Structure 1
Amino acid sequence: MEVINTSGRRKTSVARIYLTQGEGKITVNKKDLADYFPSEILRTIVNQPLDLTNEAGKYDIKVNVQGGGINGQAEAVRLAISKAICEVNAEHRLVLKPEGLLTRNPKMVERKKPGRRKARRRFQFSKR
C-alpha cells in the first residue's frame, strides 16, 4: 500500500495526514497523540473513525495540523482520517457516512459588524 494523503478542516483548523501501513502509531506535529491532545475526549474524537471501522492498530498516521484551537484541530484530524480510510476501502463509507464523519462541519465564527461590540452584541445602552 502506498501513502494516502488527505486533508480535513474545521473552523479555522486545517489537518493534512499521511496514512501508511503500520502498527497504529499516530504522530501529530512531530509529537505523540497523547502529548499533543492531553484530553481523553480529544483523543477519542481523533480515534473515532478507526474504532468504528475496526482499523485501529493497522495504520501509521502522520498529521500536520495548524490554525484554530485544540477542539477544532481534533475534529479536523478526525475528518481527514475518515476520508483516508474511505480511500483505502470504499466499504467503510457505509459505516462512517451515517455517523456524519465524512461531512465537513460548516460552522464558523460570525464576523464582527460595524456599530456593534461583537457580531450581534450591541454596545451598552443607558437612557441617562
Structure 2
Amino acid sequence: MAQVTTTLTSLKDLPGAATAGTAPASEAVAQPKIGADGRAYATGKRKDAVARVWIKPGSGKITVNDRAIEVYFARPVLRMMINQPFEIAARENQYDVLVTVNGGGLSGQAGAVRHGISKALTYFEPTLRPPLKAAGFLTRDARVVERKKYGRAKARRSFQFSKR
C-alpha cells in the first residue's frame, strides 16, 4: 500500500469542503413566511404588553382589538410610533394590519404593536430587514418593572427611618 500525499493550496481543496462550506442557493435568500390565508403573523412585546399582529396587502387600515387605531390609540404620538415601521420601509398604506394587544399600558402596547408590525413586515418581505434592524425596531426592549422585595417599601426603596 502506497501512501499518497497531496498539497493543499486552499481550504476548498479539502475533500467534502465544497458541499459543507457553501449553502444551497435556496437557503441563501430568505424566504417569506406567509400563512395559507396570505397573511404574515408576528408577536411584538414591550414591558408587560404583548401584541399579536397579522399583516396582509391592502389599503393601510389598522385595526386594534376590533377598533380603529384612531379610537384605541387616541394620542397622535402613539399612532405615529405605530406607523414608523411603514415609513422606514416606504410601505405606507400598502398593508392592512389586524392587532390583538393586551397587558401593560397604552405606551407599552404601542411599543409592542410597533415591534410586532416590524417583525411581520420582515416575514412578509425579508428584504426589509436591514432598514428596520438599523432603525432598532426589531430589537425587543427588555426593560420591565422590577418586582417589589420583602423588607422594602418598593423594589429598592427602604422604609422611612425613624430614630424614635
Scaled by the length of structure 2, the TM-score of the pair is 0.76
Q: 1:78 Cα deviation (Å)? A: 0.2
Q: Deviations over 1:24-70 (max 9, x none)?
A: 00000011001100111100110000011111101100100000000
Matched residue, 1:63: 99
**Structure 1 runs not aligned, ≥5 long:** none
Q: Which has the higher relative contact order, 1 or 2, with Cα contacts under 8 A spaced 6 or more apart?
A: 1
CA RMSD of aligned residues (A): 0.9
More strand by share: 1
Matched with 1:35 is 71
**Residue 48 (str. 1) matches residue 78 (str. 2):** no
Q: After TM superposition, give the deviation of residue 94 of structure 1 in Å.
A: 1.1
Unaligned runs of 5+ in 2: 1-33
Within 2, Cα distance between the matches of 1:53 and 1:5? 18
Secondary structure of the corresponding residue to residue 17 of structure 1: strand
Identity value in percent:
48
Which of 115, 125, 145 is matched with 1:109 structurally? 145
Structure 1 segments of 4+ aligned residues over 4 angstroms from their partners: none
**How many positions carry a matched residue from both structures?**
128
Tell me, yes or no, if structure 1 residue 86 matches structure 2 residue 107.
no
TM-score, length basis structure 1: 0.97
